[in-house]
């Protein structure tokens, strides 16, 4: 009876939100030699999730590999393998894992999102947009999908569609500094400095230490004739990030 209770407690702790507690308990179950294959796969999966939370990608990779060998229908394990391979820069292998996750679970929104991001890193913006479209069909309230599709449209030079996506993103998530900042950048490139400054104001209200928005606002102020205000913003941004001027110059934001 005591052993059964201990095992039950170990299972409860294997699901714990604390990575260290989860890893310890899942490991005890894995090493016990008493768990049938389906339970072993479950313990390996949850240990992998905990390792992923801790940033221990190599151990998580090994556990998710074992999980899909034991339970090849575990879409979440394939999706997590995709995340790890994407982090490692192995984009093709990451896409293979996301493909399998989506095949197993066609309504897997985060797998579509992550595959889209991976296509974007490969420079395949059309496929990225197609996956973001699918993610939005599955979850029309997903602000991140609109933000990232906006990036993809921006990368293709389709500024109007990018602005429309950033509009929807900030409607859904008014605290989305990234969307405000990037919409501001597009307005800046279109020569609409007033709207650009308004968006960077909004981004900085949300995240006052966002160096890119602060520097960009400074450049826009200078171009509008507010040299004192612009220089103050640019100097403050350089205190936050010394090379921000060089970084922003690469995307065309310079006085």
pTM value is 0.90
pLDDT exceeding 90 applies to what percent of the chain? 95
Summarised one tens digit per residue, pLDDT across range 157-215 is: 999 999 999 999 999 999 999 999 999 999 999 999 999 999 999 999 999 999 999 99
Domains of the chain: 1-56 (no CATH), 73-173 (1.25.40.10), 197-255 (no CATH)
d(CA 40, CA 11): 11
Give the number of other Cβ atoms within 10 Å of residue 180's Cβ.
26
pLDDT tier at 3, thresholds 50, 70, 90: very low
Task: Identify the H or E element spanning 60.
Answer: helix 57-70
d(CA 77, CA 68): 7
The answer to whether 71 and 63 are in contact (CB under 8 A) is no
The answer to whether 81 and 66 are in contact (CB under 8 A) is no
Q: What is the pLDDT of residue 175?
A: 97
Summarised one tens digit per residue, pLDDT across range 207-227 is: 999 999 999 999 999 999 999
Residue 133 has pLDDT above 90, yes or no: yes
Residue 2 has pLDDT above 70, yes or no: no
Within 13 Å and on the Cβ side, how many CA atoms surround 39? 16
């Amino acid at each position: 009876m005591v052993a059964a209770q201990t095992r039950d407690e170990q299972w409860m702790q294997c699901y714990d939100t604390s990575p260290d507690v989860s890893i310890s308990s899942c490991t005890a179950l894995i090493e016990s030699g008493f768990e049938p294959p389906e339970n072993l796969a479950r313990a390996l999966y949850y240990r992998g999730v905990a390792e992923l939370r801790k940033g221990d990608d190599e151990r998580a990779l090994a556990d998710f590999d074992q999980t899909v060998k034991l339970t090849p229908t575990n879409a979440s394990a394939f999706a997590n393998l995709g995340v790890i391979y994407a982090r490692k820069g192995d984009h093709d292998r990451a896409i293979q894992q996301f493909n399998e996750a989506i095949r197993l679970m066609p309504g897997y929104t985060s797998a579509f999102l992550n595959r889209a991001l991976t296509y974007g890193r490969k420079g395949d913006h059309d496929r990225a947009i197609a996956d973001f479209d699918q993610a939005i069909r599955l979850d029309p309230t997903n602000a991140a999908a609109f933000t990232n599709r906006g990036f993809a449209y921006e990368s293709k030079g389709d500024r109007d569609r990018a602005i429309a996506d950033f509009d929807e993103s900030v409607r859904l998530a008014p605290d989305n500094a990234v969307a405000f900042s990037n919409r501001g950048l597009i307005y800046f490139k279109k020569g609409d400095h007033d709207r650009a400054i308004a968006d960077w104001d909004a981004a900085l209200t949300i995240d006052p230490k966002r160096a890119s928005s602060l520097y960009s606002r400074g450049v826009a102020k200078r171009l509008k004739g507010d040299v004192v205000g612009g220089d103050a913003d640019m100097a403050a941004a350089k205190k936050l990030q010394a090379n921000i001027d060089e970084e922003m110059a690469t995307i065309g934001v310079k006085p």
